[in-house]
Chains A and B, each alone.
Chain A
Amino acid sequence: MPVPEVLESFAGSVNRITLGSTKDTGGSRTSTITVGGARNVVYAGSAEDAGEKPVIAIDIMDVPPEDWPDILIEPYKDVIKNPADWAKKAVNEFGADLICVKFDGIHPDKANKDAAAAVKVTEDVLKAVGVPLILWGCGNNEKDNQIIPKISEAAKGQNCLLGAAEQDNYKSITAVALADGHNLITEAPLDINIGKQVNILVSDMGFPLEKIVTFQDTGALGYGIEYSYSIQERQRLAALAGDKMMAMPAICDVGYEAWRVKEARLADAPGWGNVEDRGPMWEAATAICLLQAGADIIRMRHPRAVAAVKNFINQIWKRVSA
């Protein structure tokens, strides 16, 4: 029996964005990563319409994390005090497509590290690995505005992804990303209208839309993932409908959110299965869920979760550009 065609084409598509800069373009990365480019919703149209393969950024912390559970520390225990070795291990052993250096250590309520320390971490990691980097501040506006310009400068010309510009704190980071030739993450607190607003604000400063990646905030599985899921789907639909202010690739922070919740951490939980399996699976399931809604870059932590998600991605997406 003949089956009707369901061809549906859209006016818009998700921007393609390339992160990292090799020798040819003045950087020192040995590879670049291209994300975005979807011309349809997930699983609709042809496999080519799906755009580039989603990628995984493994988190490394500028100072040893204090609140990570043992099962998450375990794979990194030999490198946890050394961001450069940590980055190397994440790339060489665990297959990170890119590295996200998270500068929690500069937060005044945490290790309160100064600019010199942050710059050294940036330089060390740049030397240690050849993949593109995401450099992400601590979330304290004052401290981020003081230190991110230095980090940005230390990575000048590497075409990094810098995070994050927010509605009430975007000017400083947007200016340095522009000056140092980086890409920019715009962040909104699970509110699609604010998400669009931040994009408008940074583009009003002359920042090119095609160098923006959006971060709509992530809810972990069981803790609000449905909000992230629907915002991500609505963002994709807006991009396809031709809304230039919503046509950016999306990044999700799965590692931090998934490892905060008790289902991933609680060792003594009868009837939930072994925490050594459950923790990584919680992280993997959170990531896979968001992939269904159209995430392009996923920040993750546990190598087993990374492997499960990469395996899924490789079964579904074909690599489009070289």
Chain B
Amino acid sequence: MRVESAVSRLHPTVVLWLAVGWVGYAVLPWYGVDGNFFSFFWLGEGYPFEEDVAPALFLVAQGLKLWLAPLAILLLLPLLAWGRRKNDPFFGKLLIAVGALGLAWMLFQGFGIGLRGWRFGWLTMLFGELEDRQFGMGYGALLTACAFLFLFTLGLAARGAVGGDVFVVGSIGFVVAIVALFVFMPILQMLANALLTPDGVYSFSAFAGKFLSAKLWSLDCLVGGRRCGVAWNSLFLAILVGILSTLLGLAFALVATRTGFRFRRLLRALTVLPIITPAFVIGLAVILLFGLSGAFTQLSATVFGTQPTRWVYGLPGLLIAQTLAFTPVAFLVLIGVVEGVSPSMEEAAQTLRAGRWQTFLTVTLPLMRPGLANAFLLGFIESMADFGNPLVLGGNFDVLSTEIFFAIVGAQNDPALAAILAIVLLFFTLAAFYAQRFWLGRRSYTTMSGKGDAGVHARLPTSLRYALYGIVGFWVALTVVVYATIVYGSFVTLWGVDQSLTLKHYHQAFDVGWNEFGLHWRGSAWGSFWTTIIIALVSAPLTAAVGLLTAYLLARQNFAGKNAFEFGTMLSFAIPGTVIGVSYVIAFNVPPIELTGTGIILVLSFIFRNMPVGVRAGIASMSQIDRSLDESSLTLGASSWQTFRRIVLPLLRPAIVAALVYSFVRAMTAISAIIFLVSGRYDMATSYIVGRVENNEYGIAIAYSTVLIVVMLAVIGLMQLLVGSRRIGRRVSNAPGGQTAIAGAG
């Protein structure tokens, strides 16, 4: 018999969020305090009465910031739900009203009061001049806002939204709130700012002129002209990179999971290498190999007498570098999908007299369609948004992302142009997104049923297997050469000029010594190194958590506005880092949310930049798990949260690993958004390296990159160990001999 929860006078969830709200309102400092988010020095700074560190309650009690007073009343109102049950209509309506009013009031006071009193004229008319100003919100405001948000969602759940599920409604509310705050608000603020002409007026004709310019859309190169428009360049490159990286990723995934290839574990490790490398480092290596004074160029000049050219600068070099960089992403996506195809489907096909080729072409490959579409989409968008490689390798081949950067940072300083370029970029990526949805259609790709799946995967056709070995072998060789170049380059005094070996780059960057305080990090790179590690370690689990939670909501729940929800959560992925960086600087430089110069802004930008990868990986894996597993857990009395934790998450382990690894790595290697957001106190490894490259200190830059790669390898190995792999079937295919056999109990 199911044990009834203790009958409480006030619903326990209401109690929880009221407590959180009051802690935020009456205990913690309302406004942001200087220094680290987690430091508590403010306890000694006149807390709780000093204005800078006082909780809202103490401010109001002293007659300061009286506009915070209504929040106290709103935080008392939920007590009216005393003794009411959750299904009482009054309960739901009360909480909806309190939550909505609380959030609305916080937004109103946050944006209504600016740095110089009231922001809007009518407020001044209404209340007279305000002698006070707005400050950045702190922990107190954060907790109170959370309390209002979750009281609101609890109210909605009580009114029957999404089957009355508190966890699901709360999660939706949470994701919507953070996406609105950290994706939509900055972008809207930037677009609004950027549509302004330099004179401060909104002008549509100026917009149209820039939007339709030949620089963007010219097709000259097709008719023998010098170059095509930036938009076409980006599109063409992205499609090529998407297709190539998907095909290569599939080849890798098939070799790693479907062949008896002896070194397939090694293969997995090897393919991870390019993602743990900042993209522009691969660009650098490509220059060191194929550039004017590159190793291969020199070699070919000596042996064949060819004239060294700059062929690699532009489309060819970008294609090589980006495909090298993004194939592993496709591999990570596809490996889960290839493993997830139910072996019994393939066995069924074989018993229906399909040969190995026919099985592969008619069953295995079509079942991988969601994975293939995802992999292409990732490659396409990554290429569109890549900033490092075009910067290093682009030559005269201009693409959108770098143009945006130069529009804002360069001499032109034209934020309006940057916004227009961003709109074009957004259009392409969203079009790809919808094309993918259209291609997948409404077909079901569920292959892992509720019954424990027994059986083994079909072996690949022999000819295909050897073709795959060839492709993968070539690509592995190229990768090895690239990495050898990076490592070797870090020991070379000056590439192409002085090839003698030296350790001086490492000494300069990572010297360690002793002084009177103990260990002394003497090298110039340590500061940015530790910052990067900490930021990446903080953001990876947060990113994975938000991403997988969103994936669960999208794949498993039905609610009004789900399409808009999906669009919103995916949008940040379609926005290149450059745009995110600029928009964050614009939006979070002023109250009510003042984050520039902190580590939090870096963490936030990583979460919202990388979340969509977690979402996509999660959705792809979840669509392979039959819904009856969730439903059965629900009917057994587990709540949706418990179902998520005990059924969905354990079955999603490969997706979790992918999301953790990916977000950690991206946090360590990203450059485009970061370059706008770093500060003296929070410098990141990549921006430090780019700084060195700009100073022509290639040696230090490459040495630092090498150290990053080694560190990331270690962390990834550790994560893989901790999370483990999915344990479902115990039947194994005996690998050597190429024969399929089934071991284990019947």
Do chains A and B stick together as partners? no
B interface residue numbers (CB < 8 A to A) = none
A interface residue numbers (CB < 8 A to B) = none
